[in-house]
């Protein structure tokens, strides 16, 4: 039990990059983990987590260094390692045309699980994953969360000596995420498995015995969650803004003071921030104004953000996007988006059922919901990309049923996937999209120059070779060229690192302050805190609508206990909604 | 636990079951595998033919004597020709220009007189835009009139002189009827197996790369050769059905003779099927992308098989460089084999040589495909 599960020394691995250069995915990595431990690999996208896991699974050969897994040299005998481990890739390879049971059988056969063991094992896996009802359903017809659970079940058809999980909870809604972790916890407890799990969620790393923090292929820090947390000790505070001041405004002011503040995020109506170690109270005072500041317990997330900022500072600061704030318009204006009894059906399936809400000018409005809740459908109808089956829809004062093209000229849209041309330069992309929106000549040039400066973009760079956060900026820049009144953002922050996400939200809050209305979908619940109001959807129905505080209170009413984070609020509301729907169906 | 023959059998059974289920649930696969060959058989067998049947020709009778009428009467009896009579040359020319007729037979005004004098001539005008039809018509019209002349000469000279007339009776070997169906249908077998093989398997490995299923499969105790074998087997079955379909059509629909032994035909067809399927798999494994794989498969297997295997063009008439290229194609070897087997009979030396070449292809392509499935993602 106390032997080493993994011993890595000086591990390196590079990949050729499109520009003819090489990207060092993993650089000089040395660490060891004990067997029986739950180990977390933490780091933003592009940190090298997947590369490391693939090397552990014997699927990639290291360029340099040595790697021993379960006492076996992986490079020398990958099959011997593969015979003893189970590995769940980020997108687990389910055969979509095979049923749940057939997928399980296939992997059990391939791993040589005896029939008598199998029956019991399948029963417990299906119970754990709550898939017992769906054994005959083709895997392709499961929801995202269910697929992920089936992937985990297929990985666990036998008891491996080591379990490798690559971001098992990515793209999975909070409910499914909770279920997944229940399974992992149980396995570690009952079967004393060694597990390595990569994750972008700090609350998941918190559950692990050992945490490795990776960034750009390097190991920034490692240790128990408590050891890592201690790095942020004494620097973590919560500030409650004075009445009349939005938490978002205070957060914006704090995060702009980079010399003093490591990080600041709005949460539950207050702002959680981390000061630079050694920053004295006197220099913080002017920033905080009348806010009530209390010391709070440091968390893993705080330590992680400190590590990332230190690293960023060492490498020299990146230009951040600059948006000048202008006073917002009058709050009493007529709403810019009016949605009344909106319905969308696909055949006999109702994707969006009778939904109504308003969005005011300069508001940040968040659409939240589990996978398949109908948020993308709602979103597409708002952008005029999809006609509604029935109901009234008004965007920027125009009825979308009649004046769709006119309405489109007044909105900007940033798609979930990078929808720009990868082999054009930044300037060429902007020229094209500006032209598509009808900008020409000096107006177009002036707008492009202004946007380039605003987002800190290099006009000559190839768009496809930009790092994730900059691609995001370019997509935003293209959506904002024609100075739309309303900006639609579909899952804008998936796949970009926490620092880039902070920058992104800073831009968004500044845009809102200028009077641009923002409608955004996200699956990061903590990002809901940046929104003025949010709507939670599930199975096409609107379950909650209001300010983040109102939504939390609504969740608390039902649960009894106070709910101070969006994740729990979201789970409580969706679960109650589903219970109610179940009762209706039963009645 | 995972090694040894027991592990091999168990894993292969599991993989085979998976591939079979996937194949049976994919309607496109079944359509391409079973319907496409059927369409090709009917298309090539009935639609595509180099033969001329009921070709419209204009017959200009400028000479209205019974003799002149008699000489052209033979044309109407031919199954290959559909004559239209007209007294005016300009009318015939107009019809030719409009594309209504493929040839003009002109019997000049002085035909009967000239015939009596021993030097009669009939003019034949052919539409050279379609050389295949033109040369066939030249053959048919010439034949019909020649026959008439021979008969007439025989009647005129009486019994004793009949022996003095030499008639050329053209005869074609191996394809006695000289119908192109006889020659197209065996070639069709090559095309069907090439097309089906390349299209069905070129997507298989690429699809698993794209969907990420291979990554999960790689970390199981499965060996690359097992994956290849199990991907091959279900499609050998589909291909076998196609072979039987082609042979039945050849025998009972198009009445193509089979001079060689059926067993050798079947065996060599299965061998070529394996080559074709493995070529698709190798392309799939190398490209790792379904779109690319199907494009490459089309360009690398079907097009050359159509153009360079001797299906359309006789390989003896092409430049040396093209001959060399065509010899590198497995389709060329199977084409030679299948034509010989159908139309000439068992030529054991040829059979042994071509089968050995096909077997070599199986070995090489199998190894290449296995290498593309080495359990590495880099």
Q: Which pLDDT tens digit goes with each residue over A169-199? A: 876 777 778 888 888 888 888 888 899 999 8
**Which residue in chain A has the smallest CA separation from B226?**
A110
Query: In this complex, which of A54, A61, A82 lies closest to B221 when CB atoms are compared?
Result: A82
Q: Determine if the pTM surpasses 0.90.
A: no
Q: Please name the residues in contact with B222: beta carbons below 8 A apart, sequence gap of 6 or more.
A: A110, B11, B15
Mean pLDDT score, B312-333: 84
Task: Name the residue with tokens 């006492």.
Answer: A71
Length of chain B: 378
B219 and A58 within 8 Å at the Cβ level: the answer is yes
For the record, the structure tokens of A546 come out as: 């209001």
- Which one has a higher pLDDT value, A162 or A45? A162
Q: List Cα–Cα distances, A154 to A104, A109, A194, B205, in angstroms.
A: 5, 11, 17, 21
Provide the sign of the torsion angle of the four alpha carbons A542, A543, A547, A548, taken in this order: negative
The whole-number pLDDT of residue B160 equals 42
DSSP state of B35: I
For the record, the structure tokens of A556 come out as: 């608390």
Secondary structure element (H or E) that encloses residue B17, with its range: helix B4-25
End-to-end CA separation in angstroms for chain A: 53
Question: B18 at the A interface (CB within 8 A)?
Answer: yes
B212 and A93 within 8 Å at the Cβ level: the answer is yes
Q: Categorise residue A268: left if φ over 0, alpha if ψ from -120 to 50, beta otherwise.
A: left
Task: Name the residue with tokens 């009979």.
Answer: B345
Provide DSSP, A428-440.
Answer: HHHHHHHHHTT--
Backbone angles phi, psi at B330, to 5 degrees: -60, -30
Query: In this complex, which of A60, A91, A102 lies closest to B21 when CB atoms are compared?
Result: A102
- What residues of B are in contact with residue A57 (Cβ under 8 Å)? 218-219
Q: Which of A262, A197, A255 is CA-nearest to residue A33?
A: A197
Q: What number of other Cβ atoms are within 10 A of residue A123's Cβ? A: 11
The whole-number pLDDT of residue A28 equals 92
Q: What is the ipTM of this complex?
A: 0.71
B17 and A96 within 8 Å at the Cβ level: the answer is no
Task: Name the residue with tokens 């070779």.
Answer: A465
- Interface A–B counts its CB contacts (< 8 A) at 94
Spatial separation of the C-alpha atoms in residues B72 and B59, rounded to whole Å = 8
DSSP state of B301: I
A110 and B15 within 8 Å at the Cβ level: the answer is yes
Instruction: Give residue B359's pLDDT band: very low, low, confident or very high (50, 70, 90).
Output: very high
Q: List residues bridging with A295 in a β-sheet.
A: A237
Instruction: Give residue A66's pLDDT band: very low, low, confident or very high (50, 70, 90).
Output: very high
B221 and A109 within 8 Å at the Cβ level: the answer is no
Instruction: Give residue B59's pLDDT band: very low, low, confident or very high (50, 70, 90).
Output: confident
Q: Please name the residues in contact with A570: beta carbons below 8 A apart, sequence gap of 6 or more.
A: A174, A368, A525, A528, A536, A555
The whole-number pLDDT of residue A562 equals 65
Query: In this complex, which of A15, A93, A98 lies closest to B216 when CB atoms are compared?
Result: A93
Supply angle C-alpha B123, B129, B132, rounded to 5: 85
Task: Name the residue with tokens 């007529």.
Answer: A334
Q: How far is A431 from chain B (nearest CA, A)?
A: 31
Query: In this complex, which of A57, A97, A109 lies closest to B10 when CB atoms are compared?
Result: A109
Mean pLDDT score, B68-77: 78
Most confident of A54-68, A444-458, A464-478: A54-68
Mean pLDDT score, A231-238: 90
Spatial separation of the C-alpha atoms in residues A312 and A263, rounded to whole Å = 13
Q: Are strands A349-359 and A270-275 parallel, antiparallel or unpaired?
A: unpaired
Mean pLDDT score, A280-303: 86
């Amino acid at each position: 039990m106390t032997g080493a599960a993994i011993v890595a020394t000086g591990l390196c691995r590079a990949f050729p990059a499109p520009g003819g250069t090489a990207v060092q995915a993993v650089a000089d990595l040395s660490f060891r983990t004990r067997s029986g431990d739950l180990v977390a690999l933490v780091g933003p996208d592009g940190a090298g987590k997947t590369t490391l896991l693939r090397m552990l699974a014997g699927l990639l050969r290291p360029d340099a260094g040595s790697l021993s897994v379960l006492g076996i040299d992986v490079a020398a005998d990958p099959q011997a390692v593969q015979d003893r481990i189970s590995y769940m890739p980020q997108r687990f390879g389910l055969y979509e045309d095979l049923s749940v049971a057939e997928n399980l059988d296939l992997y059990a056969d391939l791993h040589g699980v005896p029939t008598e063991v199998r029956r019991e094992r399948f029963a417990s896996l299906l119970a754990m994953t709550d898939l017992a009802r769906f054994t005959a359903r083709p895997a392709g017809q499961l929801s995202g969360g269910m697929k992920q659970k089936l992937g985990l079940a297929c990985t666990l058809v036998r008891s491996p000596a080591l379990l490798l999980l690559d971001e098992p909870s990515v793209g999975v809604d909070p409910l499914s995420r909770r279920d997944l972790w229940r399974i992992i916890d149980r396995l570690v407890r009952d079967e004393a498995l060694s597990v390595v799990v990569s994750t972008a969620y700090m609350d998941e790393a918190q559950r692990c015995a050992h945490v490795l923090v990776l960034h750009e292929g390097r190991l920034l820090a490692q240790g128990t969650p408590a050891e890592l947390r201690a790095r942020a000790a004494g620097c973590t505070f919560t500030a409650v803004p004075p009445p009349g001041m939005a938490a978002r405004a205070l957060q914006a002011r704090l995060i702009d003071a980079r010399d003093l503040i490591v990080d600041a995020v709005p949460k539950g109506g207050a702002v959680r921030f981390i000061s630079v170690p050694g920053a004295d109270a006197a220099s913080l005072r002017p920033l905080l104004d009348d806010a009530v500041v209390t010391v709070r317990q440091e968390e893993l997330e705080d330590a992680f953000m400190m590590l990332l900022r230190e690293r960023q500072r060492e490498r020299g600061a990146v230009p951040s996007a600059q948006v000048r704030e202008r006073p917002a318009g009058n709050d009493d204006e007529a709403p810019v988006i009016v949605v009344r009894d909106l319905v969308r059906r696909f055949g006999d399936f109702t994707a969006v059922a009778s939904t109504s809400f308003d969005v005011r000018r300069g508001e940040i409005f968040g659409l939240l919901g589990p996978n398949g809740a109908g948020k993308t459908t709602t979103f597409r109808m708002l952008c005029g990309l999809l006609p509604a089956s029935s109901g009234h829809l008004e965007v920027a004062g125009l009825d979308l049923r009649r004046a769709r093209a006119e309405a489109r000229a007044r909105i900007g849209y940033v798609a979930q996937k990078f929808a720009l041309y990868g082999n054009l330069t930044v300037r060429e992309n902007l020229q094209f999209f500006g032209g598509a929106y009808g900008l020409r000549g000096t107006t177009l040039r002036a707008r492009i120059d202004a946007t380039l400066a605003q987002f800190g973009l290099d006009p000559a760079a190839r768009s496809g070779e930009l790092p994730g956060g900059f691609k995001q900026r370019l997509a935003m820049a293209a959506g904002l060229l024609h100075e739309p009144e309303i900006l639609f953002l579909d899952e804008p922050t998936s796949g970009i690192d926490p620092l880039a996400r902070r920058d992104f939200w800073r831009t968004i809050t500044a845009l809102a302050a200028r009077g641009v209305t923002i409608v955004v979908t996200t699956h990061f619940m903590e990002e809901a805190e940046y929104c003025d109001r949010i709507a939670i959807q599930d199975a096409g129905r609107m379950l909650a609508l209001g300010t983040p505080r109102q939504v939390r209170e609504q969740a608390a009413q039902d649960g009894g206990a106070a709910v101070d984070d969006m994740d729990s609020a979201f789970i409580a509301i969706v679960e109650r909604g589903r219970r109610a729907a179940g009762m209706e169906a039963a009645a | 636990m995972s090694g040894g023959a027991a592990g091999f059998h168990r894993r292969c059974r599991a993989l085979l079951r998976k591939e079979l289920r996937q194949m049976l649930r994919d309607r496109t696969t079944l359509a391409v595998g079973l319907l496409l060959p059927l369409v090709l058989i009917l298309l090539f067998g009935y639609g595509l033919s180099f033969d001329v049947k009921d070709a419209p020709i204009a017959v200009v009778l400028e000479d209205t004597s019974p003799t002149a009428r008699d000489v052209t009467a033979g044309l109407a009896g031919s199954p290959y020709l559909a004559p239209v009579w007209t007294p005016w040359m300009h009318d015939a020319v107009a019809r030719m220009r409009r594309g209504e007729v493929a040839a003009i037979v002109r019997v000049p005004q002085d035909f009967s007189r000239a015939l009596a004098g021993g030097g009669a001539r009939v003019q034949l005008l052919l539409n050279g835009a379609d050389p295949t039809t033109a040369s066939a018509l030249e053959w048919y019209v010439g034949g019909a009139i020649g026959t008439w002349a021979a008969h007439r000469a025989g009647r005129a000279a009486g019994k004793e002189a009949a022996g003095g007339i030499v008639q050329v009776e053209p005869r074609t070997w191996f394809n006695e009827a000289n119908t192109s169906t006889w020659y197209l249908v065996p070639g069709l077998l090559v095309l069907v197996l090439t097309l089906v093989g390349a299209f069905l398997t070129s997507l298989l490995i690429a699809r698993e790369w794209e969907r990420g299923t291979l990554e999960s499969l790689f970390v199981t105790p499965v060996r690359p050769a097992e994956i290849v074998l199990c991907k091959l087997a279900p499609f050998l079955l589909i291909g076998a059905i196609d072979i039987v379909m082609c042979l039945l059509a050849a025998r009972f629909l198009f009445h193509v003779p089979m001079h060689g032994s059926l067993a050798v035909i079947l065996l060599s067809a299965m061998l070529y099927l394996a080559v074709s399927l493995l070529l698709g798999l190798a392309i799939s494994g190398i490209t790792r992308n379904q779109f690319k794989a199907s494009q490459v498969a089309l360009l690398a297997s079907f097009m050359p098989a159509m153009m360079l295997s001797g299906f359309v063009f006789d390989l003896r008439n092409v430049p040396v460089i093209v001959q060399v290229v065509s010899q590198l194609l497995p389709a060329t070897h199977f084409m030679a084999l299948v034509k010989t087997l159908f139309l000439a009979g068992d030529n054991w030396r040829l059979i042994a040589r071509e089968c050995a070449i096909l077997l070599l292809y199986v070995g090489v392509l199998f190894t290449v495909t296995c290498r593309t499935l080495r359990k590495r993602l880099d």
